[in-house]
Copies of this chain bind each other. A is one copy, B any other.
Amino acid sequence: MSMANLEIEQAAGSNDAWFVRRGAGTPQDGLAALFRLMGVAEASPHATAPITTRRVRAGVALFHEGTCAQAVYFIAVGTFKLMHTAEDGYEQVLGFAGRAEMLGYDALCQRSYPTTAVALEDSTVYALPAADLFGLSARVPALGRVLHLAASRQMLHQVEIAHLMAAVSAEVRLARFLLQLSDHMAERGQSPRRLYLRMSRRDIASHLGVAHETVSRSFGALASWGCVAVNNREVEILDRERLLACASNTRGLVHPRCGAAADGPRLARAQAAFG
């Protein structure tokens, strides 16, 4: 197949052209690439959809909050951070998105994007025009399915994020965040042990709902407990069991009955992590 390594072509494609129309001669190329990215077998080989490819440099916004919703995007390569700017100017990081994740879907029910998506590294996305998205979804059933599945997966991701925020302790939140990152890496076939954090400490802090100094301290705590090794943005998970034990402390100590329990909260938590 000539499109066996299509994404690699696109990833290494021309640097200066930001908008690239795919498949002028073979209109199903963009659609096929999207189906392959999302891991579904295309049902209708002669279906067509006006899918374009867009490259975004690190630090550049794919779309801004409040701007007119023109497209729904699928990340082919790269990482994005999604954020929400409050009226007072405070920037809240809602989450991070990687390969095969969908962006901008939440803009469908209104005219503008409710969030801003910023590339954390040089990235490539597929763009589906939002204007006739419902028509496309009806004409190409497989595309409708891809959209539904991606939307459903995104909601599942929100549950994980809620689980993150449920922890009261900063170390537990960070541990859960790292484990989620590790799982997402594993899903994409990457190493779940060695992580390279594309986002800054400030972004992590905003996402976890703590001060960025606290993130540094929590990294130090996890490292001193032997869970991870941290060197700036390189994180290696040394002891996954221990990290899991640390991440499973929802609230002080879980069931009050299930152990000798809370002596000094901090000490008890550290011991639980070692136990």
Contact surface of A with B, Cβ cutoff 8 Å: 84, 86-90, 92, 94, 105-110, 114-115, 133-134, 137-138, 141, 144-145, 147-149, 151-156, 158-159, 162-163, 165-166, 168, 209, 248, 250-251, 254-255
Is A109 touching B156 in the complex (CB atoms < 8 A)? yes
- Cα distance A94–B164 in the bound complex, in angstroms: 11
A106 touches which one: B107, B133, B152 (CB < 8 A)?
B152
Is B155 touching A105 in the complex (CB atoms < 8 A)? yes
- Cα distance A153–B107 in the bound complex, in angstroms: 8
Is A166 touching B134 in the complex (CB atoms < 8 A)? no
A92 touches which one: B106, B138, B153, B163 (CB < 8 A)?
B163
Is B84 touching A163 in the complex (CB atoms < 8 A)? yes
A129 to chain B, nearest CB (A): 14
- Cα distance A97–B159 in the bound complex, in angstroms: 15
- Cα distance A90–B163 in the bound complex, in angstroms: 10
Could you tell me the dominant secondary structure of chain A's interface residues? helix
A189 to chain B, nearest CB (A): 19
Given contacts A144-B138, A145-B134, A162-B94, contact A88 B151 (CB under 8 A): no
- Cα distance A88–B248 in the bound complex, in angstroms: 7
- Cα distance A108–B144 in the bound complex, in angstroms: 13
Is B154 touching A84 in the complex (CB atoms < 8 A)? no
Task: Please list the 10 inter-chain residue pairs (A to B) with the smallest Cβ-Cβ separation, ordered nearest first.
Answer: A106-B155, A138-B141, A108-B152, A109-B152, A90-B250, A88-B254, A92-B166, A151-B151, A109-B153, A134-B145
Contacts of A148 in B (CB 8 A): 108, 133-134, 137, 147-148, 151
21 sample A-B contacts, Cβ–Cβ < 8 Å, listed by A number: A84-B159, A86-B250, A87-B248, A89-B254, A89-B255, A90-B250, A92-B162, A106-B158, A106-B159, A109-B149, A134-B144, A137-B137, A137-B144, A147-B148, A151-B151, A151-B155, A154-B155, A155-B155, A165-B165, A166-B209, A168-B209
A207 to chain B, nearest CB (A): 9
Is B138 touching A90 in the complex (CB atoms < 8 A)? no
Closest to A92 in B: B166
